Amino acid sequence: MSQIIESCLLGIRKPDPRIFHACLKELDLQPEETVFLDDLGVNVKSARQLGIRTIKVTDPDQAVRDLEKELGGLCMRCHKEDTITVPKHLEINMDKLKSYLNWALKLHSKDPPVIRCFRHGQSNPTYYVFYGGKHLVLRKKPPGKLLPSHAVEREFKVMKAVGQHGVPIPKMNTILHHGVCRWQNLQRSCSCWIDKTAASEVYSEMISTLVKIHSVNISAAGLDDYGKKGGYLQRNMTRWTRQYEASKTHEIEAMDKLIKWLPEHLPQDERVTVVHGDFRVDNMIYHPTKPVAIGVIDWELSTIGDPLTDLATCCLGYYTPSALDVIPGKYIVLSTVKANHIKPLFGRI
C-alpha cells in the first residue's frame, strides 16, 4: 500500500494533528498500527499524543534499527530473497555470534549481525548472516537427536577438499567444532532464470561440473578416510530397504517386486569416486547472467561411492512425472546434453 499525502493540497501541515488524522483515514489504519518517523521533536510529540508509534530520527542507521524493532524484528537493512525470520527453535545467541565473528573472521561492526533463515535446505539449518560488510552463510546442526547426515563437519571437509581440486564451491571460511557450524561466503547468484532456450547450456554445465567432482583424486584431496571404498550400491540397497520397511503404512506389490529385483541386478563393475549424493540442478548455484556453475552446495549425503548414482539423480527431473511439479526445469530433456560430456567418465554408457 502506498499513499502520498501533500500538505500543500490539504492546507495543513505537521505538527497539526489533522494531517495525521488525514493519513490514518486514507490508509484505513488505527494509530497503534502505524509508525511515524521524523527528525523534529515537535512533530514526533504530536503524533505520539494520538497513539501513533514514533521514532525520533537523529541518525539514519539508528532509525532503521529502531524501525526493525517496532516491526517485530523484520530485517530491513539487508533483505535477502527467499529468507525468513529465524524460527524460535533455531535462534542463535547474538552476543556469542558477534564475538565469534570478531574472533574467527576478524569482522567488526557497531551494529549487531543481521541473521535470517533460508527457506530451503533445512536438514541442516542454513542462515544468511550480514555483519561487518560481509554476506555470509552459516550452516549448523539442528537441535535434537541427529542422524549421520547432519554432520556439517563432513560437509566442510569435503567442500574444502574438492574446492581445491577444480570443483566450483563457495569459499569455505571456518568451522566451529563445538556445537558444530560452518561458514562460507555468500555468492550473489541465481539458479531460477533457467528457460527452455538456455536449457541445453545449463545442463551441459551441470554435467561438466559432475565430471569435475568425479575426477577428484581421492588421495590427493585427503579424502581416503571419507568413506568405504567398494560395496556402495549394496550398502545403499540394504539401507533403503530397511528404511522403507520401517516406515511403510501398507503393502505395495510393486515395491516388494522392486526390492527383490534390485539386489539381483546391481552392477558388478562398481567404480569408486567422490559422490555428491544429491546432485541436481537446485543444489547448484549459477552465475546471475550466464550458464556457468559457481557453486555446488548441500553435500551432507556425500561419500565415496559409485559415480553412476549421481548421474541417476541428475536424470530424476526427466523421469519424474510432469504432474509432480517439484523439480526445477523438469521439462528439460537430458538428451540435449552432448554425449562427449559424459563418456570420458562413464564408459558404461
Beta bridge partners of 174: 183
Q: Which pLDDT score is estimated for 81?
A: 72
In Å, how far are 4, 80, 94, 182 from 107, measured between CA atoms?
41, 20, 14, 16
Question: What's the rounded Cα separation, in Å, for the pair 132 and 134?
Answer: 6
**Cβ(280)–Cβ(315) below 8 Å:** no
In Å, how far are 95, 142, 161, 211 from 92, measured between CA atoms?
9, 11, 28, 38
Q: Which pLDDT score is estimated for 195?
A: 57
Question: What's the rounded Cα separation, in Å, for the pair 66 and 120?
Answer: 29
Q: What are the tens digits of pLDDT across the range 66-102? A: 888 888 766 666 667 778 888 888 888 889 889 988 9
Share of the chain above pLDDT 70, in %: 80
Q: Which pLDDT score is estimated for 283?
A: 87
Beta bridge partners of 303: 275
**Cβ(130)–Cβ(136) below 8 Å:** yes
Where are the alpha helices (H) located in the chain, listed in sequence order?
7-10, 17-27, 41-49, 60-70, 94-104, 152-163, 199-214, 232-247, 253-264, 308-314, 316-319
The mean pLDDT of 310-320, rounded to a whole number, is 82
Whether residue 166 is predicted with pLDDT greater than 90 in this model: the reply is yes
| Beta strands 35-38 and 53-56, pairing class | parallel
SS3 137: strand
Q: Which of 27-36, 145-154, 303-312 has the lowest mean pLDDT?
A: 145-154
Whether residue 349 is predicted with pLDDT greater than 90 in this model: the reply is no
Q: Which pLDDT score is estimated for 43?
A: 94
Cell readout for 335 is 538428451
Whether residue 178 is predicted with pLDDT greater than 70 in this model: the reply is no
Whether residue 155 is predicted with pLDDT greater than 70 in this model: the reply is yes
Question: What's the rounded Cα separation, in Å, for the pair 90 and 229?
Answer: 36
DSSP per residue over 261-315, as a string? HHHHT--SS---EEE-SS-SGGGEEE-SSSS-EEEE---TT-EEE-THHHHHHHT
pLDDT band at 266 (very low <50, low <70, confident <90, very high): confident
Q: Which pLDDT score is estimated for 331?
A: 39
SS3 114: strand
Share of the chain above pLDDT 90, in %: 33
Q: Which pLDDT score is estimated for 60?
A: 81
pLDDT greater at residue 220 or residue 151? 220
pLDDT greater at residue 116 or residue 165? 165
Q: Which pLDDT score is estimated for 319?
A: 75
Whether residue 323 is predicted with pLDDT greater than 80 in this model: the reply is no
pLDDT greater at residue 110 or residue 334? 110
Whole-prediction pTM: 0.68
Whether residue 153 is predicted with pLDDT greater than 90 in this model: the reply is no
pLDDT band at 61 (very low <50, low <70, confident <90, very high): confident
Cell readout for 28 is 484505513
**Cβ(341)–Cβ(204) below 8 Å:** yes
**161 Cα distance to chain centroid:** 21
The mean pLDDT of 10-15, rounded to a whole number, is 92
pLDDT band at 334 (very low <50, low <70, confident <90, very high): very low
pLDDT band at 270 (very low <50, low <70, confident <90, very high): confident
